[in-house]
Amino acid sequence: MPPHPPAVTDRAADRLRAAIMAGELKPGEQLVEADLVERLGVSRNTLREAFRQLCREGLAEHHRHCGVTVRAVTADDVREIFTIRRTLELQAVVAAPAILPPPRLAAMRDCVTAAQDAAAARAWRSVGTHSLRLHGELVRLIGSPLLDGFFASVLAQLRLSFAVNPDEAAFQAPWIARDAAIVERLAVGDAGGAAVALRLYLDESEQGLLARFPSP
C-alpha cells in the first residue's frame, strides 16, 4: 500500500484549494509544512504530494530551498481563465433544461442569497467566494464530475487574480445583482437571455481584472 493513499492526498489538496478559493490563502503566501501537517491532520509525505498537485494546477509554486508558496497569477493567466469560463459556463447555460433540477436551482439561489447577506455585512471577501461558488454551480449543469473538479481549480486561480484589486468592495459589489439576474433567467427557462447576460458579465469582468495589471 502506498504511504499516502490518493484519497487522503486528494482531500488535503481539496482543503488547500478551498482555502485559496475562500481568499484565506493569498498570492505569495508561504505554505508552511509544520503548520499545515497539524492543521490538516496528514503526514508530511501526504502534504508534499498535495503541494505537487496544487503546483500542477497552477495554484502554487515550489522554490528551491524556499519551499512552496501560493502562486500569483498573471494577465495571461486571467485571459486563459476567461477563455475556459466562456467555454464551460456558456455551454452549461445554453444547454440548461427549461426546468432546472430543483437541487441545482436551490444551490444557485443559496449562493446568491449568501452573497447578498455578506454584502449587507460588508464581508466583501465572502461575497467573492459565494459568487465563485455560483459559477461552479452553473458548470455543474453540464453533469460532468470531471469538469467540476477541473473548474474548481480554475475558480481558485480566479480568486488569486482578485488580489490585484485593492478595493474589494468596489470590485465585488456590481456583480451581486447580475449573478442574481442570471439565476432568475434560468429559473424561468430563459437560457438564451441568461447566456447573453453571462457573456456580457464575463467580458466586463475580464476587462475589469486586466485593467488592474501593469501594462506590458
pLDDT digits (tens, 9 = 90+) for 42-71: 999 999 999 999 999 999 999 887 899 999
Contact in structure between 108 and 138 (CB atoms under 8 Å): yes
Tens digits of per-residue pLDDT, 153-185? 999 999 999 888 778 898 899 999 999 999 999
**How many CA atoms within 13 Å lie on the side-chain side of 206?**
18
Integer distance in angstroms from the first to the last C-alpha of the chain? Answer: 50
**How many CA atoms within 13 Å lie on the side-chain side of 65?**
0
CB neighbour burial string for 42-58, b if at least 16 within 10 angstroms, e if fewer = beeebbbbbbebbeebb
CA 207 to chain centre: 18
- The overall average pLDDT reported for the chain is 93
Residue type, 193: G
State the helix-helix crossing angle for 191-210 and 168-187, rounded to 10 degrees.
170
pLDDT of amino acid 137: 97
Neighbouring-strand partners of residue 67:
63
Output the CA–CA distances (angstroms, integers) from residue 149 to 18, 154, 204, in the order listed. 12, 9, 25
Instruction: Kindly report the pTM of this predicted structure.
Output: 0.88
Report H helices in 22-166.
Answer: 33-40, 44-56, 75-94, 102-120, 124-140, 145-161
pLDDT of amino acid 1: 43
Tens digits of per-residue pLDDT, 5-35? 568 899 999 999 999 998 899 999 999 999 9
Report the distance separating Cα 164 and Cα 160, nearest Å. 8
In this model, does residue 3 exceed pLDDT 70? no
In this model, does residue 2 exceed pLDDT 80? no
Q: Cell 509544512 identifies what position? A: 33
Q: Cell 429559473 identifies what position? A: 187
